[in-house]
Chain A
Amino acid sequence: MKHKILSIMGAVLLMLTLLSCHKDSDTLVSYDHNETLVFGEAENSFEGKFKVLWNALNQNYALWDLEKEKGLDWDKVYDTYLPKFQALDKQNDVTDDVLSDLLYEVLGPLHDSHMIVEVKNHRTAKSVVISPSEYRNSSRDDYEISKSYDLALTYYTKKENGEIELDADGKPCYAEYSTSLEDLMAPVMKEDGAVLKWINDSIDVLEDLTLPTEEQLSTLSALKALLSGLNGVQASPAGVEYYNMLATRFAYLEVPGLDPIHKSFGDVGLSIKYALLKGKIAYMGFSDFSLSPYLEDAQTPEYFPDADEFTLKHIHMIKSVWNKWFQTIQQLHKSGELGGVILDVRGNGGGFLNDFQYVFGALLPSGGFTSNYIRYKRGTGRLDYSPWMPNVYKTISGDHVSVTEPIVVLSNCSSVSMAEITSLSAKVADNARLIGKRTWGGLCALTDNIEYSYNYSGHIGVKGVTPVYVYLPMLATKTLDGQQLEGIGITPDIEVDLDSKLYETNGKDTQLDRALQYIRTGN
């Protein structure tokens, strides 16, 4: 009996010893906020910067299965490039170009086409900015043309060219407005800008006076100071802040057009154009998916806090252009006269997902529309993902018509993000076609850094603060037939080049012409 018990106890003791044999995983850190423990080494070490970048992408990047399919071995990248970054630490001088070139070698193969990486070069005190998608797309034949496309309809809005419908007063059915910073500040930035012209003319008048009064001399001095202050002002957030300071300081001069510009136009400024083209074809072109702050009363105060009369006027004007387009479609469809709809997203860099309902979704029945699946990163492992789920985009609610007439979406190389989702929707909807050139390839959505912990993926670091910052999507996207087109883009149904010479000469737009041909003839 004794030896039975001893045998059993011996076996139990051996088992208990072996029961502790679960290995510990490596300890990982979160890269979403500035913390010395996480980013400290990267402040003054290229090796540290590389390790942060590699590890942060390892945990947060949502497309590792796609990259594996494309032949990328991310672990091999670590083994290959760590020594190279270590070597930089031993060099006295490391220029921005050297750092940039090495980073492009590391990041170039990654397909995410929203990703932008900023790395501080502690040797030069400047940041190096890497955009793998910019580098990839810049080799495309249509890249330069797409960058210079400016949403101009000058040829088509001239009555004599016969391309535009006329209203009851014989005027072209056309409207446009812009709240882009470049356009809002054009009067003070361009030499022939209205504000600069008025100031210069006023200075000329005052200088020509033989016996100016004290007040006139004072006004002349102030105008010259204002002119000097406006010299070289930039259409940037800092430029707007400086301009607003000048506008406030010199408001007593009552310079026409020298109105303060709300800083939010730096984030949500856009250009929008509506035209009713011959054949009752309702065209809308716009520069950004930033319509929601203008069109939704609940969002306006959030995006434009303390909006003054000038800001409210800008908001009203954008809304009015969109309304003209939307209401025209409603009226013409109900009367059976609508020829078709053209949505021009060429050169459109994307924006709010909510805008879908005001663009393609404004033409569809209420209840939502799906053109793709999405998948979130759900863990720190490279291959930890959620299931694929259909992404249902909001379509417009309330009483409205569902457009059954032909719809064309125009796209080009610089159609990105929501512009690509709109392009993809044109390939899904039965009565829609995509015409133009292949889009950018950036379909994966992203959110603000502050929302990182909802999905534990997305941004890396804090822009302008941490030595490494990555603007990074939080999810993957695939088409309804299972293709992941990140880094590739949406191929049009009808491919058409923009004849840039013709466009620059007289404004004739070969891509728009093809869209009009398709709607008018069905071919």
Chain B
Amino acid sequence: MKKRKLILACAMLLAMTVHAQWRVGATVGADNNVFSMDKQYQTDWQTKSRWGLTMGVSGQYNFYDWLGVRADLNWTQKNYRRHRDRLPINYKYYNNYLQLPIMATFSVGGQKLRGFANLGVYGGYWLSSHREGIEFNFLTETSYDFSEKVEFDSDRDQRWDCGLLGGIGLEYRIASHWAAQVELRYYHSLTSVQKQYMKVKDYRYNSTLAIQLGAYYIF
């Protein structure tokens, strides 16, 4: 019985590989991250998006020429800036995440040039955080330049991140086994970067738009 099941599984796999396509590749790009939080009555605090880098590896399995499943493993920065209007205070945050996006990929078009759309979810881990900028000592009326690693607080900081993603792009078949892609992808975090460590609810989110180039080898 066991032997029959094994033969059947191998036959199915063989059948799938006849129609399906595997591909592996690498991506590199830039991303613009928006950090959102409620500034409450501290109205002169402003939060601005900042650019960062993203790079990773990718694997994709196409069930049909128009539908496949894709998984990436990438390092993505989710940077942002906060500053105040009333005092010369300016903070630039650099946040490094390791992400595992998994998505369905839909494509249309010809042999050489195809358009595609990705829809899926991702999980990530906040690897490290750094901040630099200018602070203002109100007591002495002097500015202070700083650059420091942000130490994580296990009560406050949510290291695990997850959310939704969507992307659109174009793929160009360079050769029979090689393709190049350009993709505009959006990561929408559903996890606040801050745990609810207080009775008072205070949610803070990252939303990241990446533009990335990819190169793929198609088996």
Which residues of A line the B interface, CB within 8 A?
Answer: 4, 7-8, 11-12, 15, 18-19, 21-30, 55, 58, 68, 74-75, 78, 353, 374, 376, 378-383, 386-387, 389-394, 445, 447, 451, 453-456, 474-475
Contact = CB atoms under 8 A, between A and B. Distances in A.
B60 interface: no
Contacts of A456: 41-42
A163 to B, nearest CB: 38
A392 B197 CA distance: 34
A447 B138 contact: yes
A24 to B, nearest CB: 7
Interface in B158-177: 164, 166
Interface in B116-174: 117, 119, 131, 135, 137-140, 142, 144, 146, 148, 153, 155-156, 164, 166
A455 B197 CA distance: 23
B42 A380 contact: yes
B151 to A, nearest CB: 11
A25 B166 contact: no
A394 B141 CA distance: 11
Given A11-B119, A23-B192, A387-B146, A381 B139 contact: no
Contacts of B201: 23-26
Nearest to A29: B41
B21 interface: no
Interface in B175-206: 188, 190, 192, 194, 197-203, 205
B40 interface: yes
Interface in B55-87: 66-67, 86-87
Contact of A387 (B108, B117, B135): B135
A1 to B, nearest CB: 9
Given A75-B198, A454-B86, A456-B41, 7 more contacts: A15-B164, A21-B190, A24-B201, A29-B41, A30-B40, A378-B89, A387-B148
A392 B41 contact: no
Given A4-B106, A7-B106, A75-B198, A25 B142 contact: no
B137 A374 contact: yes
22 contacts: A4-B108, A7-B106, A8-B106, A15-B166, A19-B188, A23-B192, A23-B203, A24-B38, A25-B37, A25-B38, A26-B200, A29-B41, A58-B199, A75-B198, A379-B42, A379-B45, A381-B194, A381-B198, A386-B135, A389-B135, A389-B146, A454-B138
A447 B137 CA distance: 13
B24 interface: no
B95 interface: no
B156 A383 contact: yes
A21 B207 CA distance: 12
B66 A4 contact: yes
Contacts of A8: 106, 117, 119
Contact of B164 (A7, A19, A28): A19
Contact of B40 (A21, A27, A378): A27
A12 B106 CA distance: 11
A75 B42 contact: no
Contact of B198 (A382, A386, A387, A447): A382
Contacts of B153: 383
Contacts of B148: 387
A58 B41 CA distance: 15
A380 B86 contact: no
Contacts of B144: 387, 389-390
Contacts of A381: 156, 194, 198, 202
B53 interface: no
Contacts of A25: 37-38, 40, 200-203
Contacts of B37: 25
Contacts of A376: 135, 138
Contacts of A15: 119, 164, 166
A390 B106 CA distance: 56
A330 to B, nearest CB: 26
Contact of B200 (A11, A28, A455): A28
A394 B137 CA distance: 13
Given A389-B135, A454-B86, A22 B205 contact: yes
A389 B86 CA distance: 20
Interface in B1-53: 36-38, 40-42, 45
B104 interface: yes
Contact of A11 (B104, B108, B146, B203): B104
Contact of B119 (A12, A378, A394): A12
Contacts of A451: 138
B48 to A, nearest CB: 16
A455 B137 contact: no
A58 B198 contact: yes
B152 to A, nearest CB: 11
A306 B113 CA distance: 85
Contacts of B108: 4
B140 A394 contact: yes
A59 to B, nearest CB: 8
Given A4-B66, A4-B108, A376-B138, A78 B199 contact: yes
Contacts of B197: 382-383
A353 B198 CA distance: 34
A475 B194 CA distance: 22
B66 A389 contact: no
Please list the 4 inter-chain residue pairs (A to B) with the smallest Cβ-Cβ separation, ordered nearest first: A25-B38, A30-B41, A389-B144, A387-B146
A391 B140 contact: yes
A74 B202 CA distance: 16
Contacts of B166: 12, 15
A24 B198 contact: no
B200 to A, nearest CB: 5
Contacts of B119: 8, 11-12, 15
B202 A380 contact: yes
A21 B164 CA distance: 10
